[in-house]
Amino acid sequence: MAQDAKYVTLSDANFTSEVLDSDQPVLVDFWATWCGPCRIIAPIIEELASEFEGKAKIGKLDVDHNPQSAMQFGVRSIPTLLFFKDGQVVDQLIGTAPKKVLAAKLEGLAGQPA
Amino acid sequence: MPINNNDMEGIDFSGAEHRRVTIIGTGPAGLTAAIYSARANLEPLVVQGPEPGGQLITTTDVENYPGFPDGILGPEMMQKFEQQAERFGADLRWGTVTSVDFSERPFKLVVDEEAPVLSDVVIVSTGASAMYLGLENESRLLGHGVSACATCDGAFFREQEVAIVGGGDTAMEEALFLTRFASKVYVIHRRGEFRASKIMQQRVMEHEKIEILWHTTVEDVLGDKLVEALVIKSVETGESRELPVEGFFVAIGHRPNTDIFAKYLERDETGYIQTKADSAHTNVDGVFACGDAQDHVYRQAITAAGTGCMAAIDAERWLADQE
């Protein structure tokens, strides 16, 4: 576990307040402990959380313990990365993706005027 | 298949790092080559690729890799391979080789479309990726009920009915894995017998949650936002019908990841790199291939590791001969 992990640990309980009501763009990483590819991208997610601090929020949602949020957004595969802006899903990536691709998408969202 | 390996223009190789050995891919073949090359003091650069660890990252128990009498989880096994490579000094690096130029030495590689690397030797261990049927709705609903990885996504289908198409060991393993979650698993196969290993076939045929649909093909996937049904067709009668399911898993085989080498390396008609008999040499001197990228016959972790070792030893000897 990284010390001072900058990402937000999401749950069914805080999903609305942390993601849908956020004034920043949010990248949500839907993952689970038994998912090998999720572990591959975990360090990338942590790096993005640090690098985009203040500009975009990065959250991780464990689907095993929070099935409602996964169902709500039709997530049926992990890792799934959903990009939220103003409470809406504006982009998605199914499966692993290189850091460059994720950073570029965040850059695009964070750079747009509110 | 579109070939995208001509984009060397615009990338400046004058200041590029120059390695003795670069290994592309980190499944059992690449990581074994890494261990051997590192121990030969060749300081290999090992580019992880889009799926570090390879196909075993998405399996559960590996029961047939020698040395593990109680079996071992795929991801755990690959972690051990990785640790071993790092112990001897292999330089494991995130990134994907997006284009290569093997027309002259040192060979040129581009990582992530921007980082140039020069290398005296290249070991290709890019493995193979899951094939899809190629249906439009299949790709539209990917991640929303369509999947090529039961171990990754099976948990989303608790108490639901799912279907899997395929007839090899992967299809058998995935079908059995899905029974842990699904209330029913249809195994759809276009022929009348599986090509999987006997022990796996038996387990599938004896499982009470599994129903096999022989001589059947999948013609379409139905559903608005999530998978709702498949359109299946009988090969014998030609009749189609709908099969309501909420999950559709594709396990029809793998395709070697070798398109970026098409211009330089001889491949067979399905894309497997051709190597000279009893070696890892390709048609290009100094380029070696191992693992599923060149093996369409055995495709086991142990044979991949074996050919990875061969590639590293072939490379070491070839380098010595150049001096």
Stretch B89-117: mean pLDDT, rounded?
A: 94
C-alpha–C-alpha distance, residues B231 and B197, integer Å = 28
B142 and B244 housed in the same domain: yes
pLDDT one-digit tens code per residue, B161-190: 999 999 999 999 999 999 999 999 999 999
Last residue of a domain, which of B199, B230, B250?
Answer: B250
* Beta strand ranges found along B168-253 (DSSP E): 184-188, 210-213, 216-222, 229-234, 240-244, 247-250
Nearest to B51 among A76, A80, A96 (CB): A96
Task: Please report the pLDDT score of residue B29 as a whole number.
Answer: 98
Nearest to B144 among A36, A39, A76 (CB): A76
Question: CA A80, B130, B276 angle in degrees (round to 5)?
Answer: 140
B199 touches chain A (CB under 8 A): no
B141 and B232 housed in the same domain: yes
Best of B57, B111, B113, B180 to disrupt the A interface by mutation (most A CBs within 10 Å)? Answer: B57
B291 touches chain A (CB under 8 A): no
* Nearest-by-CA chain B residue for A43: B94
C-alpha–C-alpha distance, residues B307 and B294, integer Å = 9
pLDDT one-digit tens code per residue, B292-314: 999 999 999 999 999 999 999 99
pLDDT band at A4 (very low <50, low <70, confident <90, very high): low
Count of C-beta atoms within a 10 Å radius of residue B252:
20
The whole-angstrom distance between residue B2's C-alpha and the CA centroid of its chain comes to 19
Q: Where are the domains of chain A?
A: 8-107
Domain span holding position B170? 136-250
Q: Which of A10, A19, A27, A35 is catalytic?
A: A35
CB atoms B152 and A77 under 8 Å: yes
A22 touches chain B (CB under 8 A): no
pLDDT one-digit tens code per residue, B275-286: 999 999 999 999
Nearest one of B78, B61, B75 to B25, comparing CA atoms = B78
> According to DSSP H, which parts of B222-283 are helical?
none
Last residue of a domain, which of B193, B221, B250?
Answer: B250
Residue-by-residue DSSP string for B118-131: EEEEEEE---EEE-
Whether the per-residue pLDDT at B62 is higher than 60: the answer is yes
What one-character DSSP code corresponds to residue B250? E
Measured between beta carbons, the chain B residues lying within 8 angstroms of A63 are 155-156
pLDDT one-digit tens code per residue, B213-245: 999 999 999 999 899 999 999 999 999 999 999
B241 and B147 housed in the same domain: yes
Number of domains into which chain B is organized:
2
Nearest to B155 among A32, A96, A98 (CB): A32
Q: Are B10 and B60 in contact (CB under 8 A)?
A: no
B201 and B241 housed in the same domain: yes
Nearest to A36 among B57, B147, B157 (CB): B57
B175 and B122 housed in the same domain: no
Nearest to B112 among A34, A77, A98 (CB): A98
Q: What is the largest CA-CA distance in chain A?
A: 38
Whether the per-residue pLDDT at A100 is higher than 90: the answer is no
A64 touches chain B (CB under 8 A): yes
Lowest mean pLDDT among B54-58, B98-102, B201-205: B54-58
C-alpha–C-alpha distance, residues B217 and B231, integer Å = 9
CATH number, domain A8-107, options 3.40.630.30, 3.40.50.12280, 3.40.30.10, 3.30.70.3400: 3.40.30.10
Measured between beta carbons, the chain A residues lying within 8 angstroms of B112 are 98, 100
A63 touches chain B (CB under 8 A): yes
What number is the ipTM of this complex? 0.72
Predicted TM-score of the model (pTM): 0.82
A99 touches chain B (CB under 8 A): yes
Please report, for the domain that includes residue B150, its CATH number: 3.50.50.60
Best of B153, B245, B248 to disrupt the A interface by mutation (most A CBs within 10 Å)? Answer: B153
B95 touches chain A (CB under 8 A): yes
Q: Tell me how close the Cα of A60 comes to any Cα of chain B, in angstroms.
A: 17
Q: Tell me how close the Cα of A71 comes to any Cα of chain B, in angstroms.
A: 9
B105 and B24 housed in the same domain: yes
